Chain A
């Protein structure tokens, strides 16, 4: 069973703080990793992908990948109330993406 595990939350952070979202995966063959954001009642939208060990930054978002530990994380700096959503971690390639159950983030104004 190929699995992606996430803490379901909710994770509550105050506005302006750093939100840290974590994910582990079981399939060592996975080559690319994705973070999607899903607002309630909407479909997921891609935030970032990462495929090399280390950090990848895009604006307020930083994805971190550690293949030895099979661990992926997403940091959101200067969190805003509009960041409140469910964040889905996914692992893929060459297989179809496998999604975690998502972590619900709540940014408190």
Chain B
């Protein structure tokens, strides 16, 4: 299957700082990428849809000014958590849709954010 790489896998930061997470599609071009958040023992929650060359589409309840998404190329999308707080501590996972008609998603390895 397609390969999606995410970095960093773990990050610990102080409250009030910003953290950037990168998501790359390694062997295919992804015009659309998706960012999910998962709290312990909870389901994946879609945060936003990242569109190459245009503004991201955010799900209801997700603050676009807090979670900045940039999709500057067909292989790279970034999520920046600005002014992070302890309640932002979570597992953030990016994904990209395959180019097939089925539309299956391939996930990055995930980034575990801990805000102290």
**Which residue numbers of A lie inside 8 Å of B, CB to CB?**
32, 34, 36, 41-46, 49, 51, 88, 90, 92-93, 96-102
- Chain A residues with Cβ under 8 A from B6's Cβ? 43
| A45–B49 CB distance below 8 A | no
Please tell me the size bucket of the interface on B: 20 to 34
Is B54 among interface residues, defined by CB-CB distance under 8 A? no
**A43-B93, A44-B44, A100-B43 known; A92-B103 Cβ under 8 A:** yes
**A100→B43 CA distance, assembly (Å):** 6
| B108–A46 CB distance below 8 A | no
**A64→B112 CA distance, assembly (Å):** 34
| A93–B43 CB distance below 8 A | no
| B103–A43 CB distance below 8 A | no
| B109–A101 CB distance below 8 A | no
